[in-house]
Amino acid sequence: MLILGLDVVGENPKRFAVVSWFNGKLERKGEFTLYRLIRFIQSKRPDIVAIDSVTELGDDLRKFLRSLPPETKLVQITGKPGEQRSLQSLAKEYGIRTADRFDPYEEAKLSALLASKGVGYEVLAFEDEVIIKVTRGRSHGKGGWSQDRYRKRVHNLVRDKVREIEDRLRKADIPFDLETEEKDYGLARGEFRVYASREELAGLVKPMHGGDVEVRIYPVERAELGFAPLKGEEAIRERRSIIVGIDPGITVGIAAIDLNGRIIALHSERNMPVGEVFRFISEIGHPVIVATDVSPAPGFVEKIARSFKAQLFVPRESLRVEEKNELLRNLGITVDDDHQRDALAAAYKAYLRLKPKLEHIDARLREVGLSKKADEVKALVIQGYNLGEAMQKVSLRERPKVEEKREEQVREVPDLEPYIRRIRELERKIEMLENENRELREIIKEQRKTIGRLERKLVDYDEEVRRKVLKEKELEAKVKRIETLERQLKEAKALIERLSKDLVQVKRMNVIEIRGSAVPLKVLRVLSWNELERIEREVGLRRGDVLFVINPASAGKSIGEELVERGIRAIITEKPLPEPVREVLREAHIPFFTSEELDVKRVDDFAVVERKTLEDAIEKLLRKWEEEDREREAKKFLKLIEEYRIERAKELERKALEEIERERRREP
C-alpha cells in the first residue's frame, strides 16, 4: 500500500510538504505546488492521500478531488467535520511519537502513519453513479454524397459502440439507464446513467478520444461532501448496527432490523437511484449485513454491501414465496407490497442464520458486564473479529480519554495511574490472546489433517479427471467437426440440385439452338452504359443482335438512341421499358417485347427464345406498326385536305364580298 501524507507549507502559491509511506517505510518527497502535486499523484496513483484537514486545500478542494485517480482516496485524518481532534492527540492514542508540531513534514508524516493504521474519514465527493456519453468524434463537414456516406458510417459506429457498452454492463450485472438519439438508421448519441462507482467501471469501459467515435466518462458529483470512516469499526462505534434486506428492481424494497431481530424500517419506492438507497439506509444506521432473497446475489445488492463495507448474505438457494410468507407470519407483521416482503424476508433470514451466535455473545457479555455494548461487540464479530478481540476493543474504548488541553500542559508530578491501567489492560489482553492462540493451534492442527486427507483424494482423482477432461475435449472437437461437415454437405447437395436443374435446361436450349430453331439472346442485367460496355467487351455487340434485359427501369432516351445507332434487331425485357425508350424504339421500328410474351428460357447469363416465335412476333408487331403509320398518314392527309377546303372557302367568300362592295360603289 502507498500512502502520501500532505501538509501546507505556504501560500501564494500554495505549496505542500509530501511524505510517502510504502509498506512501513517513510520517505520525504519534498515541496510541491498544487499543479505539480496533482501530476505527481496521477503518476504514482497512491491508495490514500492523507491530510489533517481538507480545508487546507481551500477553493481548490473540488478541483483536487476531480483530478484524483479513481482508486485513490482522500482521507481527512482528524475526523469528520464537527468532531475533529488534533493530530497530536490521535498520534498519542495510537502510540506514535511526535516531534515539532510546527514542522510541515512532521505533520505530513503523522498523517501518513495514522492513515496506515486505518485512522481518518474518507472524503466522498462523488455519487455511486457515472455518466457515459457516446458521440461522434468529429464534424461531418458540408453536404455531398461522400459526406452523407461518412455521416451514416459514423452513426453506425456510434450505435455499435453503444451496443458494446450495453452488453458489457449487462454481463457485469451493473444496473443502468440508457437514452439514445436515432439518426440515419444508426445513433447520433447514447447516454448511459450507470449506478456504479468509477472503481467498478475501471477496465470495463474505457474513454475514447480523437477518432470517429468518442466515449467520455463523467462521475456524478455530490452537492455536499460526505465523510465515511476508513475502518468499518469506526462506523460501528458511532452508529446503530443493523441488518438490511434489499429487493432490487424498478421498485426497490428496503427492510432494516437490529441485531436483536426487531424491525426498524420498511420502505419501497419506484425508480429509486443507488445514491438515494445509500442515503436512506445511512439515516437508519450502519449495516453490518446486507441480505438478498435470491441466489446468486444481484449486482445492485453487491454494490450496496461494498459501499458500506458490510458482509453480504446470500441464501443457499433463492427463497420461495411460501417460505417468505411463513417468515412474515412468524413475525406477525403485514407489508404494503411484495417488494417490502422480499426485503424483510431476506433480512430476517440472515438474522436467523446468525441468531445462535448472537445469543452466545449475549450470554458471554452478561458474564463480564458488557451487556450495554452488546450491539457493538456483535457487529465486530460479524465483521470478522473473534469474540475475545471484539470484547477487548470495546473495553479499551471505555477507558477515559485524556483531554487535549492536559496534554499540552506541563505537569510537575508525573501521573502513573494511566500507565498502570494500561499495563493491566495489556496483561488481560495477553491472557486472552494466549487462550485464543491455543484454540487456534488446535484448529490449525485439525485443518492440516483435513488438508492432507483432501490432498490425497485430489491425487487419486487427478488422473481420472484429467483423462475425462481430455476425452470430453476430444469428443467436443469431433462433434463440432461433424456439424461443420454436415452443414457443408447440405450446402453441397443444394448446389448440386440447383446446378442439375440448370444443366438440364442448358442441354435443352443447346439442342434447340443446334437445330436452328432458337435464337440466342445477349443478357444485360440492367439497361445502362456500363452494362453495354461490359457486353461489348465480353461477347461483342453486332447489328441484328437480340438483347434480353432483366431490369430496364433506370434507362433513358439516350440509351434508346444508342441501341438504334447500333442496329439492334429487337429487345426483350422482364419488366416494361420506360416510356422514353419505348418512344425512341417505336420511332425507329425496333420491336420490343416482355419475356412473358415470348416464353424466354434463361439460365444465369445465358438465354434463348424459339426462332419461329420471335420471327412471328416481330413480323406481327412491325405489321401492326405499319398499319398504325398508314392510318396516321391518312389522317394527316385528310386533315390537310380539310384545312385546304376551309381556307379555299374563306378565300372565295372574301372575294365575293369584295365584288359586292365594288358593285355597290359603281351604282350612282
Copy the grid coordinates of residue 380: 465486530
Q: What single-letter amino acid sits at 468?
A: K
CATH topology of domain 128-225: Alpha-Beta Plaits (3.30.70)
Q: Name 107's Cβ contacts closer than 8 Å, sequence gap at least 6.
A: 5, 7, 17, 52, 87, 101
Which whole number is the average pLDDT over 35-50? Answer: 92
pTM, two decimal places: 0.41
**552: preceding bond cis by omega (within 30 degrees):** no
Which whole number is the average pLDDT over 527-553? Answer: 85
Which whole number is the average pLDDT over 91-118? Answer: 87
**Higher-pLDDT residue of 508, 157:** 157
Asked if 128-225 and 231-383 have one fold, the answer is no
Strand order in the sheet with 601-603: 592-594, 570-573, 546-551, 518-526, 606-610, 601-603
pLDDT at 420 over 70: no
DSSP one-letter string for 390-425? HHHHHHHHTSPPPPHHHHHSPPSS---HHHHHHHHH
Copy the grid coordinates of residue 491: 450446402
pLDDT at 209 over 90: no
Distance of alpha carbon 35 from alpha carbon 78, whole angstroms: 25
Identify the CATH class of 2-119. Answer: alpha beta
- Own/partner contacts of 361-370, CB < 8 Å, gap of 24 or more, are 361/387, 364/391, 365/391, 370/394, 370/395
pLDDT at 291 over 90: yes
Measured in degrees and rounded to the nearest 5, phi and psi for residue 220 equal -85, 120
Q: Three-class SS of residue 606?
A: strand
Burial of 660 (0-12, 13-18, 19+ CB in 10 A): exposed
pLDDT at 402 over 60: no
Torsion of CA 618, 622, 623, 628, to 10 degrees: 150
Copy the grid coordinates of residue 300: 445492485
pLDDT at 499 over 80: no
Q: Render pLDDT for 342-367 as a digit per residue (tens, 0 to 9).
A: 999 999 999 998 888 888 888 888 87
Query: What band does 112 get if pLDDT is binned at 50, 70 and 90?
Result: very high
Q: Render pLDDT for 442-456 as a digit per residue (tens, 0 to 9).
A: 888 888 888 888 877
Q: What is the pLDDT of residue 413?
A: 42
Place of cell 463440432: 480
pLDDT at 196 over 60: yes
Helices and strands in the chain: count of H runs, count of E runs = 20, 20
pLDDT at 604 over 90: no
CATH tag, 231-383 = 3.30.420
Q: Three-class SS of residue 355?
A: helix
pLDDT at 17 over 90: yes
Copy the grid coordinates of residue 129: 453513479
Copy the grid coordinates of residue 586: 417505336
Report domain extents, the chain.
Answer: 2-119, 128-225, 231-383, 516-625
Instruction: Name the percent of the chain lying above pLDDT 70.
Output: 90
Using an 8 Å Cβ cutoff, are 81 and 101 in contact? no
pLDDT at 188 over 50: yes
- Own/partner contacts of 147-155, CB < 8 Å, gap of 24 or more, are 151/184, 152/184, 152/185, 152/186, 153/212, 154/186, 154/212, 154/213, 155/183, 155/184, 155/185, 155/186, 155/187, 155/188
Q: Vertex 132, ends 127 and 138: CA angle to 5°?
A: 145
Which whole number is the average pLDDT over 479-489? Answer: 90
pLDDT at 468 over 80: yes
Alpha helices in 117-267 (DSSP H): 145-171, 198-201, 232-238
Which whole number is the average pLDDT over 191-220? Answer: 83
Torsion of CA 343, 344, 346, 351, to 10 degrees: 150
Q: What is the pLDDT of residue 403?
A: 43
Which whole number is the average pLDDT over 9-20? Answer: 89
Copy the grid coordinates of residue 664: 355597290
